Every structure is written in C-alpha cells, then in structure tokens.
C-alpha cells in the first residue's frame, strides 16, 4: 500500500523531539491547500492539527496556512476598499463584547471596517454574530453581499463558513479533540478584503510574537496584535496593554498602553447583550465605556490615524462622545 500524499506533513511534525521541525512557509501552504480541497483523510486532519498544537505554531506556519486559505477565496473582483480588518473568533465569557461598539463607532466616524469570525465552538460564550443580530446589523451570506454592505454602510461581518466551509468544520472539531487547534490562530490573519490595517486580539501572551512574525511574512501593511479580553481584540481597561506593531516586513515595535481604570472588574454574571445597545444610547457603564474607547484607540493607531498612544486615546474619546446615540451605524 503506497503512502498517502498528505502523510509526509504528519511525519514532519511527529518524528519526535530530535527530528520533528516546523513546516516551511511553502510546506504550510501546500498542506493547508490539501486540507481545504479535501485531499486528506479525517484521521490525518486530527493528527496534523494536534501535532501542531503540541509543538506550537511557528510564524511561517500561520502565514502559510492563511495564504493557502486566501488563495481559495471565491471573491468578486470589485470589492470596495476597507480601512481595517477585525477578526473575532474567541467569544466572550467574563465581560460583554464591548469591542463591537468600538468597531461601530469607527464606522459612524467614516472608517470602513470588515469583521470576520465564528461562533459556537466553545459553550458558555457570547459571540459577535448574535450581538450584531441583536443590534439589527445584518450578517453577510456571501462576499458579494459583504461588499454591498461595506459600500452602503461602511461595515460588514462575514461568518467563517462564508470564507471557508472546510475551516468552519475544522474549528468545530474543538469539542471532539478537546483542545483548540491552529485554525483558531490563523483564521485571525485571513483579512478577506485585503485591508491595509489588521488588528488581532489573542488570549495567550506567548503568541504575540508568532502573529507579528506571521504578519511580517505576509507583508501586511500595518498590523497590531495584543492580549485582549477573552482572546478578542478588546483592550482590558484594568491592565496595561502591550501591543506588537509591524509594518510590512519590518521588525515589530512593542508599545505599552496604560491602565484606564484602577481595580479589578468583577465577572458580568448576566452577560445581557441588550445592554450594549443601551450603552450606545447613553446608559452609563464605566467599564464598558473604557473598553470601547480604549479598543478604538488601538484601532486608530493601527490605521495610522494617531501618532502616539495619548493622541489615539483622545481621538477615540472624541469619536465616542460625538456618536449618534439615536442610531447604531450599519443597522438595518
């Protein structure tokens, strides 16, 4: 019986501590391309993902997987230009997803934002899609529909299954495998509308250099990654935030953003997503407002709209204060 063509990639990762190695960028692209085209057996998919998880992903692997996925996108040629790519794959379980109001406030100020993500892979979390639907913001069912939404309102949200059905199936293996897989990492780098600025939130501190290195390998014009609340791109008001920035192939520059609120915020036991709409309309919430403005500031800095952390914070505060409290941007 001849060896399966995909077996070589499992072998590279699983030869043991002395012989295993990272996949090269080219190998990563080839391997992920085979997975997405259905050219690997189910057993190989599980083995490959968990061996990568055990080894921990390298920047070249994250970049190669993302590039392979992007090469298979079925995109119209006339997609509108956008300013910022915003990934959302973790979900929130301790605090509400305030970052959604950050993105929508930027849209209200004239910036074009595309968000992409998924939901349901981990029980007990609040995901972007359900919040947008609660705010009456439509979810795109295709690239074309997302393009029309950006052109009309400045915002679109693409679920992962629109970007890649096979990736959605792989990310949903989490309850079966018992662990997150590299899919949770590299989907953040997909940038489906080729935005010049990409902002990524992660949970594990040790992955910031990996994502920044992947952005370098992919040549992203302006990239920022930070350890956000729950793993989402949301600044934590009660902690200093270290942000890794890179521009194209340049080495990352690390900035430390200050604490916005003193003290530890208790867990939100209710996680009532309707409160987001009320806070947009003017209901007071010190933690939520700090998270909204603080996250928006990092986005503005990533887009090159502010020359310093202090200027970004001030610009974000002005945008939030000037919002139209009577209408959620991009809502139907």
Q: Residue 17 class from Cβ within 10 Å (0-12 exposed, 13-18 middle, 19+ buried)?
A: exposed
If asked whether residues 170 and 103 sit together in one domain, one would say yes
Does residue 107 form part of some domain? yes
Does residue 328 form part of some domain? no
If asked whether residues 36 and 93 sit together in one domain, one would say no
pLDDT beyond 80 at 121? no
Does residue 253 form part of some domain? yes
pLDDT beyond 90 at 287? yes
Stated as kind and residue range, the H or E segment containing 248 is: none
If asked whether residues 180 and 300 sit together in one domain, one would say yes
If asked whether residues 22 and 129 sit together in one domain, one would say no
pLDDT beyond 80 at 18? no
pLDDT beyond 80 at 17? no
If asked whether residues 104 and 233 sit together in one domain, one would say yes
First to last CA, the chain: 58
- CATH (domain of 97): 3.40.1030.10
SS (H, E, C) 52-69: HHHHCCCHHHHHHHHHHH
If asked whether residues 40 and 104 sit together in one domain, one would say no
User: For 151-164, how does the pLDDT look when each residue is reduced to its tens digit (9 = 90+)?
Assistant: 999 999 999 999 99
Residue 77: what pLDDT?
93
Six token digits for residue 254: 């690390």
If asked whether residues 296 and 174 sit together in one domain, one would say yes
pLDDT beyond 80 at 168? yes
- CATH (domain of 30): 1.20.970.10
Q: Quick one: pLDDT band at residue 295, thresholds 50, 70, 90?
A: very high
If asked whether residues 179 and 275 sit together in one domain, one would say yes
Q: Quick one: pLDDT band at residue 12, thresholds 50, 70, 90?
A: very high
Does residue 1 form part of some domain? no
Which of these three, 38, 71, 104, is where a domain ends? 71
If asked whether residues 55 and 169 sit together in one domain, one would say no
Six token digits for residue 162: 């629109």
- pTM higher than 0.85, yes or no? yes
If asked whether residues 99 and 63 sit together in one domain, one would say no
Q: Quick one: pLDDT band at residue 23, thresholds 50, 70, 90?
A: very high
If asked whether residues 176 and 280 sit together in one domain, one would say yes
pLDDT beyond 90 at 111? yes
Q: Quick one: pLDDT band at residue 193, thresholds 50, 70, 90?
A: very high
Share the mean pLDDT of the chain: 95
Six token digits for residue 327: 């209408």
The DSSP result for 315-326, as a single string, is HHHHHHHTS-TT
Q: Quick one: pLDDT band at residue 124, thresholds 50, 70, 90?
A: confident
Six token digits for residue 52: 């990568």
How many domains are contained in the chain? Answer: 2
Report the percentage of the chain scoring pLDDT > 70: 100
Mean pLDDT of 236-263: 94
If asked whether residues 168 and 36 sit together in one domain, one would say no
Residue 206: what pLDDT?
78
Round to whole Å and give the CA distance between 211 and 225.
7
**Structural domain of residue 168, as residue ranges?**
84-321
């Amino acid at each position: 019986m001849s060896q399966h063509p995909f077996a070589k990639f499992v072998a590279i990762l699983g030869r043991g501590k002395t012989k295993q190695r990272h996949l090269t960028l080219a190998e990563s692209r080839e391997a992920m391309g085979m997975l997405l085209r259905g050219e690997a057996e189910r057993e190989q998919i599980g083995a490959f993902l968990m061996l990568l998880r055990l080894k921990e992903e390298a920047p070249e692997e994250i970049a190669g997987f993302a590039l392979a996925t992007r090469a298979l996108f079925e995109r119209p040629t006339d997609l509108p230009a956008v300013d910022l790519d915003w990934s959302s794959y973790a979900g929130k379980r301790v605090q509400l997803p305030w970052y959604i109001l950050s993105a929508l406030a930027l849209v209200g100020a004239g910036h074009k934002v595309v968000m992409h993500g998924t939901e349901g892979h981990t029980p007990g979390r609040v995901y972007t899609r359900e919040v947008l639907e609660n705010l009456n913001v439509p979810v795109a069912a295709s690239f074309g529909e997302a393009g029309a939404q950006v052109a009309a309102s400045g915002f679109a949200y693409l679920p992962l299954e629109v970007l890649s059905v096979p990736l959605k199936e792989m990310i949903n293996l989490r309850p079966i495998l018992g662990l997150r897989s590299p899919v949770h990492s590299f989907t953040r780098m997909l940038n489906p509308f080729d935005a010049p600025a990409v902002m990524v939130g992660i949970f594990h501190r040790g992955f910031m250099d990996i994502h920044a290195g992947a952005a370098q390998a992919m040549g992203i014009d302006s990239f920022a990654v930070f350890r956000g609340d729950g793993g989402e791109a949301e600044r934590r008001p009660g902690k200093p935030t270290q942000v890794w920035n890179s521009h194209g192939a340049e080495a990352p520059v690390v900035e430390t953003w200050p604490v916005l609120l003193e003290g530890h915020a208790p867990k939100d036991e209710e996680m009532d997503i309707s409160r987001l709409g009320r806070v947009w309309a003017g209901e007071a919430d010190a933690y939520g407002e700090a998270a909204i403005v603080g996250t928006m500031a990092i986005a503005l800095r990533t887009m090159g709209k502010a020359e310093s952390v202090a200027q970004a914070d001030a610009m974000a505060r002005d945008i939030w204060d000037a919002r139209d409290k009577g209408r959620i941007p991009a809502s139907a």
